[in-house]
Amino acid sequence: MSGEHWPTLSPLQTGLRGRCPRCGKGHLFDGFLKIRPSCEVCGLDYSFADPADGPAFFVMMFVCVPAVAFPLWLELAYQPPTWVHLVTTLPLILLTCIPPLQPLKGWLVASQYVHKAEEGRLARPDEPLPPSRT
């Protein structure tokens, strides 16, 4: 399958659904956040994928911070007992922070593939460029 041409797929469509960024059919994940070694459909090696802490950062900045506003308001407005926070705040934070992790990780991996993102390295002008992934 190495000579086969693959169309460029949208990182949003493939990544958010947890699909292979090359063929859009294979699965990207083996479990909740563990990336498979390769695609079971087209054979794409996922070793290039390194989203690092990106998904956690986006969840913390755009989901967790607003989710913490509710318990702060609740505490300042009503000063409820601790059990009220356990019943309201804990589920709110868990339900808003954990589910977005996999789609965000899939989107970041698919974006890495589509944009051919690699680890930065210094190269001398006389060195040839490494071969690109196809």
Q: Residue-wise pLDDT tens for the chain (134 aa)?
A: 455 789 999 999 999 999 999 999 999 999 999 999 999 999 999 999 999 999 999 998 888 888 889 999 999 999 999 999 999 999 998 999 999 999 999 999 999 999 998 877 777 777 776 676 55
Residue 90 in domain: yes
Number of domains in the chain: 1
Residue 1 in domain: no
pTM for this entry: 0.82
Assign 3-class secondary structure to the chain.
CCCCCCCCCCHHHHHHCCECCCCCCCECECCCCCECCECCCCCCEHHHCCCCCHHHHHHHHHHHHHHHHHHHHHHHHHCCCHHHHHHHHHHHHHHHHCCCHHHHHHHHHHHHHHCCCCCCCCCCCCCCCCCCCC
Residue 132's pLDDT is 65
Residue 129 in domain: no
By residue range, what is the domain housing residue 82? 11-114
Residue 51 in domain: yes
Residue 5 in domain: no
